[in-house]
Amino acid sequence: MGEAVRTTVPSANLDTTTEPAPIHRQLTPPMPANILLIQLRRIGDVLMTTPAVAALRQAYPAAHLAYLTERPSDEVFRHSPHLDEVILYPPRPSLGQHLAMLARMRRRRFDLVVDFFGNPRSAQLAWASGAPRRIGFRFRWRRWAYTDAVIPPAGLHYAAAHKAALLAPLGVAVGSLRPQVYVGEEERAYARRQLAELGVAEGDFLVALCPVSRQPYKVWPAQNFARLADALIERRGAKVLCFWGPGEYHFIQAVRAHMRHETLGDYPVPTLQQMTALLERARLYVGNDNGPRHFAIAVGTPSVAVFGRPFPQSWTPPGEPLHRTLEYDPGCKAACTYPRCDHLACINQVPLEAVLRETLALVATLDRHPLERHGTAPARKPGPS
C-alpha cells in the first residue's frame, strides 16, 4: 500500500536554517573586488541562485559581479539590479571553444569565484580562473578545483537554500529565499497588450495554467487539468491562460480536448521575460512542477503545483503558505527506479479531488486577502558578453 496523498502548505514558522558548512579559511582584507558566479544551465537552477546573488551584492556593494551562464538563462538577469555583467558560455561548445573560455576566465583575474553548478566543466572554469578564493561543493572528483570545498547540506532543502549554502565560508547571510526576477517596463507593456487582445480586462480573475513538462514523471493527466480548469471557470469566473514552450503545444491541446469550457486563445510563444510579465498579471498559477512555476513564485503569484517524482520541499520556498503542493507517494519515491518504472503512480495517482480542494481553498484566501504586487524598477542592466 502506498502512502496517502500529501498536501504541503508551508508553515510561516518553518525553520529554514541549514547546518553551517565547514569554513576552511577566513576572508581577510582586501575585500573581493572582482567576483565570478557560475551556473551554466537549467533555467530553474539559475533562478534558484538569485537569492545568493542578491546577498553577495549587499555584502560587496562596490564589487564587480559577473555571472557565467548559457542562453536563455541569461534572461533571468536581464533587469537585475544585482549584477554588473552576464558572460555567455557557448552552447554545446567544441574543445577549442571551451579552452578559449578557460583562457578568458584566466585573463579576467577574478578575486573570488562561486561555482553554483559544480559539474566537471564548471569546476574547470573555476580552477582556470586562478582566483585566490574558489568556492564549490565537495563533489567527488571536483573538490580539487576549489580552495573552499563545502559539504552539501544533508537532507531535503529548498534549492535556493542549497545554493546559498555556498556563501557560508564567506560569512554572507541570505535573507529571503524567494527567487528574484525583475520585469522591465517593455515586458509589462507587452503583457498589457497581449492580455487585452485576448479579452482580459482589469479585475478579471486570471489563472495561469501550465500543464507541461518534458519529464513523464512530472506530467499530471490532461483530463485532470481539464476538470480543474473547468471548475475555476464555473465557480470563480476565471479566465484561463495556457502557457507552453517550443514543442509543448500538444499538452495544451490534450487539456482543451477534455474541457467543457474554453480557455483564452493562443498567442505567440513569449520570451522568458515576456512569460514572466504575463505570470505577474495572473492571480493564480496552476500546473505541474516545472520552470514557469518558479517564475510565478518569483513575481509573487500564488501557486498550486502537482508533484511526481521530485520532492516538493526541494522546489517550494518554505514559510510561504500561498504556494501549495500536492504529491502522492506509492511507497517508492525515496528509492525511485525511473526510467525502469512502469506505472508512474507518483504523478498519475495524485487525486483530482485533493488538488481541486486545495486550489479552491487558496482562491477563497485570495478573495478575502487580495495581494499587493511588489514590482521593482530595474536599477542595473547587465549585458551579456
Neighbours of 188 (CB within 10 A): 18
Phi-psi region of 300 (alpha: psi -120 to 50; beta: other; left: phi over 0): left
Consecutive H or E run containing 330: none
Residues 6+ apart with CB under 8 A from 317: 10, 158, 160, 177, 178, 179, 297, 323
Distance between CA 35 and CA 16 in Å, rounded? Answer: 27
Distance between CA 279 and CA 105 in Å, rounded? Answer: 36
CB 69 within 8 A of CB 101: no
Homologous superfamily of the 189-368 domain (CATH):
Glycogen Phosphorylase B; (3.40.50.2000)
Neighbours of 190 (CB within 10 A): 18
Largest CA distance in the chain: 66
CB 118 within 8 A of CB 139: yes
Per-residue pLDDT of the chain (385 residues; tens, 9 = 90+): 444 566 665 543 333 333 344 444 444 457 899 999 999 988 999 999 999 999 999 999 999 999 999 998 999 999 999 999 999 999 888 999 999 999 999 999 999 999 999 889 999 999 999 999 999 999 878 888 899 999 988 888 899 999 999 999 999 999 889 999 999 999 999 999 999 999 999 999 999 999 999 999 999 999 999 999 999 999 999 999 999 999 999 999 999 999 999 999 999 999 999 999 999 999 999 999 999 999 999 999 999 999 999 898 999 998 889 999 999 999 998 888 888 888 999 999 999 999 999 999 999 999 888 876 544 444 444 556 6
Burial class, 157, CB count within 10 angstroms (exposed 0-12 / middle 13-18 / buried 19+) = buried
The upper half-sphere exposure of residue 123, i.e. CA atoms within 13 Å in the direction of its Cβ, equals 17
pTM for this structure? Answer: 0.85
Amino acid identity at 50: T
Q: Give CA separation, 186 vs 87, 123, 245, 274, 381, in Å.
A: 23, 37, 21, 9, 13
Distance between CA 95 and CA 367 in Å, rounded? Answer: 56
| Three-state secondary-structure class, residue 238 | coil
Which DSSP state fits 370? P
CB 8 within 8 A of CB 316: yes
Exposure class string for 234-253: b at 16+ Cβ within 10 A, else e: eebebbbbbbbbeebeebbe
Given the C-alpha cell 547587465, which residue does it identify? 382
Fold of 18-170: Rossmann fold (3.40.50)
Residue ranges, CATH 3.40.50.2000, the chain: 18-170, 189-368
CB 292 within 8 A of CB 243: yes
Amino acid identity at 139: F
